[in-house]
Amino acid sequence: MVVGTLSYHARHYSVSTPVYEGPLDLLLQLIEKEELDITSFALAQVTDQYLIHLRQIQVQSPNDVSAFLVIAAKLLQIKSEALLPRPPTRESGEEDLGEALAEQLRLYKRYKIIGNWLHQREDNNLRSYLRVDVPIHVSNMIDIGNIDIVQFVKIAYHVFNRKDEKPMLSTIVSQPKVTIREKIMLIGKILHESGNIAFHQLIRNAQSRLEVVVTFLAMLELIKRNLLEARQETLFGEIALVRNQDWEDGTSLEFEFGE
């Protein structure tokens, strides 16, 4: 099969498709015109028509000419075998030229149908977008080769001397209540003061996984209301939150969810 930009003109016949134009295109159109099934018998029937159109088409490239001549030679052999009183005897494993060309034509017809379908989807802007970034492979091993004992001591001192107000062991501790409404108000207050913030800063002091999830849901709610814009430049990169200009200081938010 040779892809090209060819046109086939005859007295009452023309082939021109946006997907593919070549010798198999011409052959398929001839068979469909005669309302024949794709078989070696059908190929023998349209051989003369194929040769007539081959004489009338104008092909510039020698490669295109050779492609048409190869199909023409196969058709002549198929027709000559069909005219014999008995089918030729083939050795074991020898290819049946008629069946091989018929199967090639069936496959081409399937690809042509799929190509037309894809062309229609492209015209209707029905495209699929694939992820182009390669997923990041996260290793279970942590490289600490660049950290010395002095840095370890500083990190440990910072961790163990955090001034978090921890309740007495005798105190009954209940899980703090975290609501989307509160987190939306918090995000709104921060953005009205600074205009932007990184998402990791919002969850830096989160006390539980629940608080992280609720903060994320609050962010999504603000994005849905077009009050907040989230930007992430790279895969798994930092999420930057930017206040939308339409979010004025006096904007009143009516929530569709409870506390």
Residue 7 pLDDT more than 60?
no
Is 9 strand, coil or helix?
strand
Asked if the 173-259 domain carries CATH number 1.10.10.580, the reply is yes
> What pLDDT sits at residue 233?
83
pLDDT at residue 39 in the model: 84
Beta bridge partners of 228: 243
Q: What local confidence, expressed as pLDDT, does residue 38 receive?
A: 85
Question: What is the C-alpha to C-alpha distance for residues 23 and 156, in angstroms, rounded to an integer?
Answer: 76
Average pLDDT over residues 223-249: 81
Residue 5 has pLDDT above 50, yes or no: no
Q: Domain coordinates of the chain in residue numbers?
A: 8-85+96-123, 173-259
Give how far Cα 77 sits from Cα of 70, 89, 101, 181, Å.
11, 14, 11, 81
